[in-house]
């Protein structure tokens, strides 16, 4: 079984983000192919899944990292065993009806055969979907089983002033921890968030990731 992992970053991504991302991947000996190009995220994912020779595709955003190596292998095994996909849970708070939970692309694993059996739906945004959300919409209609990793904690709130709601589940925000095993920064364009990501990646590399200051995703606000 051929497995490939991919990360896209535009030229406006702070080099500290990429350096920290690579430090985590190197610690866990996870080979990742980095694409530096100013192309739409969804279009890039379309190209990867359509044109590359791989049985399983693993995607990481440049500001999303695992806390351990096993979660990556477990996700690959889930996708392969079920000919399906898995990703972190997210809801598009800017697209009505604001409550569709989907497997988001920040950490996303899918088999090529699943992608093809669903009809190669586009990863690009449309009237009802953020990046990669359309895959889950199509799978929902086809009654195709897939899996999401739900948030457990988050570091802080977005610049909009409130955490994002994950439908009726709870909340996620800046520096969200999913299933206690995948960390996604969000809004990495802001300097204070970059520093947070660098700190969190250093903690992962040094084996001292600390959740004591994080907010609980299920706690009401």
pLDDT tens-digit series, residues 165-203: 999 999 999 999 999 999 999 998 888 899 999 999 999
Q: What angle do CA 16, 63, 42 make, to 5 degrees?
A: 125
**Could you tell me the pTM of the whole model?**
0.96
Rg of the chain (C-alpha set): 16
- pLDDT for 59-93, tens place per residue? 999 999 999 999 999 999 999 999 999 999 999 98
Q: In the numeric block, which tokens belong to residue 202?
A: 């250093």
Q: Classify residue 93 as exposed, middle or buried by CB count within 10 Å of its CB (0-12, 13-18, 19+).
A: middle
Check if the beta carbon of residue 217 is closer than 8 Å to that of residue 180.
no
Residue 221 clears pLDDT 80, i.e. is over it: no
Dist CA 166 CA 28 (whole Å) = 30
62: nearest Cα among 5, 102, 133, 140: 5
Residue 45 clears pLDDT 90, i.e. is over it: yes
Confidence band (pLDDT; 50, 70, 90) for 95?
confident
Confidence band (pLDDT; 50, 70, 90) for 159?
confident
| Strands 101-111 vs 147-149: parallel, antiparallel or unpaired | unpaired
Check if the beta carbon of residue 99 is closer than 8 Å to that of residue 168.
yes
Q: What is the mean pLDDT of the chain?
A: 96
Which regions of 98-169 does DSSP assign to beta strands (E)? 101-111, 147-149, 151-156, 164-166
- Domain ranges within the chain, ordered by starting residue: 3-216
Classify domain 3-216 by CATH architecture.
Alpha-Beta Complex (3.90)
């Amino acid at each position: 079984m051929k497995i490939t992992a991919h990360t896209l970053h535009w030229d406006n991504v702070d080099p500290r983000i990429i350096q920290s991302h690579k430090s985590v991947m190197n610690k866990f000996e996870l080979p990742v192919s980095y694409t530096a190009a100013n192309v739409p995220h969804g279009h890039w994912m379309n190209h990867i899944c359509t044109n590359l020779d791989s049985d399983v595709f693993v995607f990481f955003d440049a500001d999303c990292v695992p806390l351990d190596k096993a979660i990556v292998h477990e996700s690959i095994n889930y996708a392969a065993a079920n000919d399906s996909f898995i990703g972190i849970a997210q809801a598009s708070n800017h697209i009505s009806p604001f409550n569709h939970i989907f497997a988001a692309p920040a950490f996303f694993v899918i088999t090529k055969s699943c992608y093809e059996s669903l009809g190669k739906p586009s990863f690009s945004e449309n009237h009802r979907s953020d990046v990669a959300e359309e895959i889950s919409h199509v799978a929902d209609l086809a009654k195709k089983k897939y899996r999401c990793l739900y948030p457990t904690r988050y570091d802080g709130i977005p610049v909009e002033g409130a955490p994002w709601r994950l439908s009726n589940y709870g909340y996620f925000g800046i520096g969200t921890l999913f299933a206690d095993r995948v960390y996604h920064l969000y809004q990495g364009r802001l300097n204070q968030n970059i520093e947070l990501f660098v700190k969190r990646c250093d903690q992962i590399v040094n084996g001292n990731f600390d959740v004591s200051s994080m907010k609980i995703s299920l706690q009401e606000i």
